[in-house]
Homo-oligomer: A and B are copies of this chain.
Amino acid sequence: MKVFVSEIEDVAKAAMVAHGAGAWQAGEVARAVARAEAFGNVICGLYYLESYCTQLKSGRVDGQVEPVVTQPKAGQVIADARFGFAQPAFSRGLPQAIEAARENGVATLAVAHAHTCTSLGFFTEQIAAAGLVGIGFTNASPVVAPPNGNKAVIGTNPISMSLPDGGMHWDFSTSAVALGKITMAKAAGENIPLGWAVDANGEPTTNPEAALKGALVSAGGYKGWGFGLMAEVLAAGMTGSVNSLDVSGLKLPDGKPHDLGQFYILMEPGADFGARLARVAQAVAEQDGARIPGQDRQPMGEIDVPDALWTASRGLAAD
């Protein structure tokens, strides 16, 4: 089914309002849903809407709460989501964080006690749109074991980075793969490559079922583990939100709020920033098939949404 992005946004907003969210809060989240779909990131788009609605109903996320923004120091902005969605809290804190970064050269924006932010790049691209370098970190439910370990300690813990003028944009988990790749392999009755996961004994496995009883591993071994920990200590430690360890499944219908953190660094680019980036981009462009991540990234205006998903989404809006 071909659907306009604006329709996706409208339906997503209506669905959340129908399940108890405030109009403003629902609008902020719907914008993220539509943006994810516009860039083909289906996992963070309408596919998440049912979970949002279920958790609004059960109270696992508070859709009405007003975020509270404070600025303890000149370069330090904190947006407390108060167990509500991440997007409204980010929106409330962003103008102050942008002003602080312009004033000081650098500022941080800590989003505390939030629901999963879904696509982290959605936020750093807003920082880049203000002409600043944006780096983002978040934590998640525990699915990744340390090297040589067998028990999950951190989440897929994505990191994202966006540069002004569409110069670069990336957003990826620090685990070897997303959990969804394992569940999809299991559903398809296929094996997974070595290097994705370990079984419950910590042994590398190609069996998706054994992997689901074990844990994912970090991308690039101990290097991804370092980056994953970086996201963990910044997202949890700099925001006072809980550790990945203490978050239960992100889509479970009820239970404690996610209470996740996101942490953003906003920086004024140096005077030579554009020239230095252009030099690298040119050397990459000369190589067929190689690219700077996110370069010339264009949102779609109309999306091909699976019929069942679109029907379900409209159903949620009609509830």
Contacts and interface: CB of A to CB of B under 8 A. Distances in A.
Interface stretch (A33-41, A57-65, A180-188, A288-296): A288-296
Interface residues of A, number: 77
A72 interface: yes
Contact of A270 (B104, B238, B265, B293): B238
A219 B195 CA distance: 13
Interface in A227-241: 227, 229-230, 232-234, 236-240
A163 interface: yes
B74 A291 contact: no
B226 A238 contact: no
Assembly of this chain: how many copies? 2
Contacts of A308: none
Contacts of A271: 240
A172 interface: yes
Q: Is the interface of A mostly helix, strand, loop or mixed?
A: mixed
Nearest to A234: B133
A256 interface: no
Given A133-B233, A149-B289, A154-B280, 19 more contacts: A73-B268, A74-B105, A76-B268, A104-B106, A146-B284, A146-B291, A148-B287, A148-B290, A151-B283, A153-B280, A153-B287, A170-B229, A172-B222, A222-B293, A227-B227, A232-B280, A237-B276, A240-B271, A245-B279
Interface of A: 72-76, 103-108, 110, 133, 135, 145-151, 153-154, 161, 163, 168, 170, 172, 174, 176, 202, 219-227, 229-230, 232-234, 236-240, 243, 245-246, 265, 267-277, 279-280, 283-284, 286-293
